[in-house]
Amino acid sequence: MAEEYVEGKDLILYKWNTVDTEWEPVACATDNSFETTLNFLESITKCDESTRRRPTSKNYTSSISGLVSTKASQISGKVYSDILQEEADNMTKSWYAIYTPEVTDKTFEKYFEAYINSISFAAAREDNMTFDAELAIDGDAVNTDPFATT
């Protein structure tokens, strides 16, 4: 049996549409990442000098680079670049998801609430408008859709 690998095209960034209660694709991603960081407490005593390590908390971040879509959101009719910029400006926390749009044997799913930690747009005269964003995830990232109705 030949091995299959998850490709970048298999993962898409979505944003939860609170009006139509569905996940909408934010933009055409060219690159995205999801990172988990554990924070450890290390202790040592005079009675037992062996170091004790235990995780005390975890942080998640996600980054995305992509092409700005001209598709307007069903929520407000605004283009997603405007929505993302407004959420960064207003420090708005929203639900996002990174997942494969089709159920396959290489499905990846992460759902999370996040703030836009940083965002930038670039628009060369003859090229598509691009953006880079970092999402600061607040709370846990989960593997199942928190809005699923089944």
Chain-centre distance for alpha carbon 53: 29
Per residue, the 3-state secondary structure of the chain, as one string, reads CCCCCCCHHHCEEEEEECCCCEEEECCEEEEEEEEEEEEEEEECCCCCCCCEEEEEEEEEEEEEEEECCCCECCCCCCEHHHHHHHHHHCCCCEEEEEECCCCCCCCCEEEEEEEEEEEEEECCCCCCCEEEEEEEECCCCECCCCCCCC
pLDDT < 70 positions in the chain: 1-10, 44-46, 48-49, 51, 69-78, 102-106, 150
pLDDT digits (tens, 9 = 90+) for 6-50: 666 667 788 888 877 888 877 777 788 888 898 888 776 667 667
The reported pTM is 0.75
- Going along the chain from its start, the domains and CATH numbers come out as 12-137 (4.10.410)
